[in-house]
Structure 1
Amino acid sequence: MQSEKITRAASAPRERRYDDACGTALALEFIGERWSLLIMRELVFGPRRFGELRTNLPGISANVLTQRLESLEEAGIVLRYRLPSPANVQVYDLTEWGRGAAPLMRDMGRWAARSPKHDPRLFMSAASAMMSLQALADRTQAAELLVTVAFHFPGEDFVVTVTGGEIVVSRGIMEAPDLAFTGDTMAMRRTIYGKAPLARDGAGGTLAFAGEADLAQSFVDLFALPPKIVEELVSG
């Protein structure tokens, strides 16, 4: 019993107070704990069950996830409710204000991807993969393309719409998209960012695709990882 209490106390979030009027300091009080921002990332495209959050956040314990969700709920960032029948399950979602942090998360991802320490081979959830498309698109090039694309990941479906230079992502299935990609997020990275040759059957560990090959290539060409920063020696 004593060891259980110690474990819980060790994993409890620390209260952060910076005594600083800057909005950034206040933001860190809300989401500065480990896992908080990643939980929000998983909710950007809609509600998720507790088990779905755990699956897409490898390494987090049920205890810590519960604590972080409670903290985010108290801060007015996350809300909890029950889906109507026939689903009738409890889910977590971002509040309207909480969802306003999505552009910040995309900007942070784009900024951090320039670091030499960024390893694109690590685990990536489907929500993270979709957010990366919004963060790493060439907006000028996207302005010349109008296309709807379905992404079918194991157990998760998304629709990406490219219109007016914007990349709009939503969860769900579209009846007749212009393109459809099927596979896991590693196949997505090989195809989208690794620029592996497109293959309708997903050969070589890439995304299988349906639709016009030229249109699929034009879509893939919209995205690229940013160049890594080069360490500079500063003489003093």
Structure 2
Amino acid sequence: MASRSYGQYCGVTTAVELIGERWALLIIRDLLVGPRRYTDLKQGLPKIPTNILSTRLKELQEGGVVRRVPLLHCGLVYELTPYGRELEPIVLALGRWGFQEMGDPQPEDVVTADSLTMALRTAFQTDAAATLPPADYELHVADVALRVQVDASGLRIAQLQPAGRPIDPRLGTQASTSGEPDLVFAAGPGIRRLISGELTPAAAIDQEVLAIVSGDGTLLERFARTFHIPIDPGVVLVA
């Protein structure tokens, strides 16, 4: 467990002592996508010092949140324990809460495959997906490419390499990458404005927030209904 103690007997206090140290929740966020090698975690969190990553992983293991296990042909990987996986709805709720104040990205901000995967899971509207026809998207944001498949049964996401090849499925890929997607489109961080409803799909294209690469562009309307986090009008976004 983390060495910091707040000296209070409270469930919230215990939770903060377990996962409240800097970088801990981002490690958990990435492990919610799937098991990760140490090098995968370091690559997905490029600004984390290696000694801090090692320390956080040790603390999370001691707290019963993370465990280290062998994975065939992948070596030793870190994964969430069943106790750790109980954090998923909490992390998704935090993502929706934080989305309200994201504002525009700073020049040094990056988007990673795991952060984008979790962003889509955060924004996913199960009720909308249940009432809409299935759709198969390929989304490109900077160097990140995701295959995103939606139907009445839920959401499946596969992370693709820059060349379009799927990442090892044992490290978290779920969607099928066979066949052609219905829609391929590219976007920058401004895709947040589509997900929030600030921009319609047509306006997002007109303002070059995103661009259709191939496929049926009308499916953007379906994407915007399926992945949506409405912004509270009482919240002022930070510029």
TM-fit CA distance, 1:152? 5.8
Percent identical among aligned pairs is 28
TM-fit CA distance, 1:37? 0.6
Q: 1:183 to 1:95 in 2, by over 3 A?
A: farther
Match of residue 3 from structure 1: none
Match of residue 56 from structure 2: 68
Q: Deviations over 1:175-228 (max 9, x none)?
A: 126435465763755775664229xxxx94736544322234312343344325
TM-fit CA distance, 1:139? 4.0
Which has the bigger relative contact order, CA under 8 A and spacing at least 6? 2
Match of residue 178 from structure 2: 175
Distance (whole Å) between structure 2 residues aligned to residue 46 and residue 166 of structure 1? 17
Match of residue 132 from structure 1: 119
Give the gaps of 5 or more residues in structure 2.
Answer: 159-171
Distance (whole Å) between structure 1 residues aligned to residue 16 and residue 116 of structure 2? 24
Q: 1:224 to 1:39 in 2, by over 3 A?
A: same
Match of residue 13 from structure 2: 25
Q: Deviations over 1:135-192 (max 9, x none)?
A: 2234443222222334466776644332337434454352126435465763755775
Q: 1:229 to 1:189 in 2, by over 3 A?
A: closer
Distance (whole Å) between structure 1 residues aligned to residue 182 and residue 52 of structure 2? 39
Q: Deviations over 1:89-111 (max 9, x none)?
A: 33222122212211110101111
Q: 1:157 to 1:50 in 2, by over 3 A?
A: farther
Q: Tell me, yes or no, if the aligned pair for 1:136 and 1:226 is still in contact at 8 Å.
A: no
Query: Pairwise mapping of residues 1-236 of structure 1 onto structure 2 (< 5 A)?
Result: 14-22=3-11, 24-85=12-73, 87=74, 89-115=75-101, 118-121=102-105, 122-145=109-132, 146-151=134-139, 158-164=146-152, 166-169=154-157, 171-172=172-173, 173-176=176-179, 178-179=181-182, 181=184, 186=189, 189=192, 195=201, 196-197=204-205, 204=208, 206=210, 209-228=213-232, 230=234
Q: 1:204 to 1:229 in 2, by over 3 A?
A: closer
Secondary structure of the residue that 1:124 maps to in structure 2? coil
Give the gaps of 5 or more residues in structure 1.
Answer: 1-12
Bigger Cα displacement from structure 2, 162-171 vs 34-43: 162-171
- Residue-pair matches, total: 211
What is the TM-score of this pair, normalised by structure 1? Answer: 0.71
TM-fit CA distance, 1:128? 1.8
Q: Tell me, yes or no, if the aligned pair for 1:187 and 1:205 is still in contact at 8 Å.
A: yes
CA RMSD of aligned residues (A): 3.3
Return the letter of the residue paired with 1:143: A
